[in-house]
Amino acid sequence: MIDNIPLDPAELSDAWDLLSPEERLAGFRMLPPEKAEEFFFDLSADDQAELILSLAPGERRIWMRLLEPDDAADVVQAADEEDRATLLGLLDEATRREVTALLAYEEDEAGGLMSSRFARLRPDITVDEAISYLRRQALGKIEVETLYYIYVLDNAQRLLGILSLRELFGAPGNRLVRDVMNTDFVAVPEDMDQEAVARLFAEYDVVALPVINDEGRMVGIVTVDDIVDVVQEETTEDIQKYGGMEALEEPYLRIGFIDLMRKRAPWLSILFIGEMFTTFAMSRFEGKIEEAAFLASFVPLIISSGGNSGSQASTLVVRALTLDEIKLRDWWRVVRREFFAGALLGSILGALGILRVAVWQLISPIDYNGALAAGLGTAGMSATVFVSLLGVVLFGTIAGSTLPLLLRKLNFDPASASAPFVATLVDVMGVLIYFAAATALIL
């Protein structure tokens, strides 16, 4: 079973997604021992759970015990309901208690992200004593998530102050910790949502934040590396919503086909139903189309221009809202700006549209006058195209910029004002604007 030809970890990583659980285990066993540990740490919690459970019972304990409590909690969470007790049973008593406590938190709140292994000091020792104490702890292999910040707690585990190790180093050795610590610090409640925690990290530019429970005791720290993952996850969700579907929650190649369809089909169907209004709108003008079939040829060109300009505007506004570059109270500045942008962009496309009508007339003349009762020919068609493009692009930019603001105002996610959603809205309006212009100007 155990083959002694060592396997390159990079090769195994590359093939991982294509392998069955048995093949994964076989590959893992073929790794050189010194590489296996690193490989194991790089796996996702799902894969770690699967791998541990596929090992012989005797071997499981070693791997499970390699994990830090917060990572062990993720592995337990990733396993199926019936395997969780097995995995918890592999841990030593103290860690099991820690992991069980962590499991009580929601995955997406501060408590679910935190580690309970942080460096702590009492306030009434000197700086020199504090440094020796931390060194003794480190020598004794007492694991902490980071030594970057040290937390000063009283006997009731209440957080009194924070010291960076740099500050501790820079303080005279005979001063008390109490006198050199910073008492003006930011802490997060254990049930704070992870997005709010991420915003605090960005705002205060720190590498770790302390977590406080509702009795005021410090229970752990959240470190910046967990937050980087959170930000990436949230960005992916935003982008997927923005592409006109529900957020996937799993990597594209990992998610099951049925789940993938569940995320995509409903939105696509809703957009389809919304788009049906274009058929109603157009069928109202069927008489005009019968009279002048060339009118229909311009419909996709006109409506898609509205969709594209709306997509630009909503992309800009959604992203700027996410980054807090725009606040709700800026709405008037945004709308005013997009009004002028729409007017200018619409005029540019309108000019291109006139060019299209004129050039086409030279190549393959349309007998506008023959087709129309009292038509104005090329001039009328040019005017219709220009006016419609101006109107549609203006509507697109204004809809694209106000919708995300409106959604934020109503406490919905602005990213739901997706490019396809805005385009659908604009399409219906585009048909109406175009045929109204045509009726007024040529028919």
Tokens of residue 105, six digits: 């938190």
Nearer to its own copies, 195 or 325 (CB): 325
Tokens of residue 115, six digits: 């580690």
Query: What's at 247, amino acid-wise?
Result: A
Residues 71-100 binding its own copies (CB under 8 A) are none
Residues 340-359 binding its own copies (CB under 8 A) are 340-341, 344-345, 348-349, 352-353, 356
Total number of residues that touch its own copies (CB under 8 A): 106
**Residue 443 engages its own copies in binding (rule: CB under 8 A):** no
Site string for its own copies, 193-232 (x = CB under 8 A): ---------x--x-x----------------xx--x--xx
CB of 16 vs its own copies, minimal distance in Å: 12
Three-state DSSP class for residue 303: helix
Residues 154-193 binding its own copies (CB under 8 A) are 165-166, 169-172
* Residue of the chain from 424, 441, 442, 443 that contacts its own copies (CB under 8 A): 424
* Residue of the chain from 102, 110, 212, 299 that contacts its own copies (CB under 8 A): 299
Nearer to its own copies, 101 or 148 (CB): 148
Number of CB atoms found within 10 A of residue 323's CB:
9
Query: What's at 201, amino acid-wise?
Result: F
Residues 361-380 binding its own copies (CB under 8 A) are 364
* Residue of the chain from 153, 419, 432, 442 that contacts its own copies (CB under 8 A): 419
CB-CB contact of 226 with 113 (8 Å): yes
CB-CB contact of 420 with 284 (8 Å): no
Tokens of residue 250, six digits: 């799993």
End-to-end CA distance of the chain: 83
Q: How far apart are CA 254 and CA 180, in angstroms?
A: 50
Nearer to its own copies, 88 or 240 (CB): 240
**Residue 420 engages its own copies in binding (rule: CB under 8 A):** yes
Q: How far apart are CA 144 and CA 166, in angstroms?
A: 17
Nearer to its own copies, 98 or 226 (CB): 226
**Residue 38 engages its own copies in binding (rule: CB under 8 A):** no
**Residue 283 engages its own copies in binding (rule: CB under 8 A):** yes
CB of 286 vs its own copies, minimal distance in Å: 5
Q: How far apart are CA 313 and CA 342, in angstroms?
A: 9
Q: How far apart are CA 367 and CA 359, in angstroms?
A: 14
Q: Of the ranges 66-74, 100-108, 142-150, 214-222, which one interacts with its own copies (CB under 8 A)? A: 142-150
Nearer to its own copies, 190 or 338 (CB): 338
* Residue of the chain from 337, 376, 407, 413 that contacts its own copies (CB under 8 A): 337
Residues 1-20 binding its own copies (CB under 8 A) are 14
Three-state DSSP class for residue 114: coil
Residues 307-336 binding its own copies (CB under 8 A) are 307-309, 311-312, 314-317, 319-320, 323, 325-327, 330, 333-334
Site string for its own copies, 245-274 (x = CB under 8 A): x--x--xxxx--x--xx--xx-xxx-xxx-
For residue 234, CA distances in Å to 192, 240, 364 come to 16, 10, 52
Q: How far apart are CA 129 and CA 140, in angstroms?
A: 16
Across the beta sheet with 149-153, the strand order is 120-121, 149-153, 159-164
**Taking the CA atoms of the chain, what radius of gyration do you get in angstroms?**
31
Q: How far apart are CA 179 and CA 276, in angstroms?
A: 70
